[in-house]
Amino acid sequence: MNTDTNITKATSEQLTPAEYTRTGDYYRPNVDILEKEDELLVLADMPGATRDKLDIEFEEGMLTIHARVEPRQPEGTTFVRREFGVGDFYRTFQVGEAVDAGAISAELSGGVLTLHLPKTEQVRRRKIEVKSA
């Protein structure tokens, strides 16, 4: 087991692109990741995603987000112009072991996925009280 409690930020050269095993269109959702004192906060734009078609997994430091989005073409209609692509959203991140995997939570509202990844006690910043002798 890795005992390193530092959260490392990889550069784009260090990241390995995801390999897809399904056919069809995949989109890489735009993501903001904020580091707070007690958690990492992930905000992902995923328009058209619904809660029941969203899979989020965290295993061995890898966070995977996958949302299946159904094509939007009501029966009996023809597009006059089509500019918005529709397909699944897929994104993976290497987070590390400084996250309390059992306490991860998520919300989806207005096409934005919000993930709360609480830091473990070992990596949280602590104020050390100094006592007088």
Q: Which CATH number belongs to the domain containing residue 57 in this structure? A: 2.60.40.790
**Would 78 be classed as within a structural domain?**
no
**Would 64 be classed as within a structural domain?**
yes
**Would 9 be classed as within a structural domain?**
no
**Would 96 be classed as within a structural domain?**
yes
**Would 131 be classed as within a structural domain?**
no
**Would 42 be classed as within a structural domain?**
yes
Q: Which amino acid is at 57?
A: E
Tokens in use for 53?
A: 């078609």
CA–CA gap between residue 53 and residue 86 (Å, rounded) = 14
Predicted TM-score (pTM) of the model is 0.71
The alpha carbon of 65 is separated from its chain's Cα centroid by a whole number of angstroms, namely 5
- Tell me which residue range forms the domain holding 108: 26-72+83-118
Q: How many domains does the chain have?
A: 1
CA–CA gap between residue 24 and residue 21 (Å, rounded) = 10
Residues 6+ apart with CB under 8 A from 125: 37
Give tens-digit pLDDT for 78-128: 888 888 778 899 999 998 768 898 999 999 999 999 999 999 877 666 677
Mean model confidence pLDDT for the chain: 82
Tokens in use for 129?
A: 């009280």
**Would 12 be classed as within a structural domain?**
no
The stretch 13-17 carries a mean pLDDT of 51
Please state whether beta strands 39-45 and 31-35 pair in parallel, antiparallel, or not at all (unpaired). antiparallel
**Would 125 be classed as within a structural domain?**
no
CA–CA gap between residue 43 and residue 33 (Å, rounded) = 6
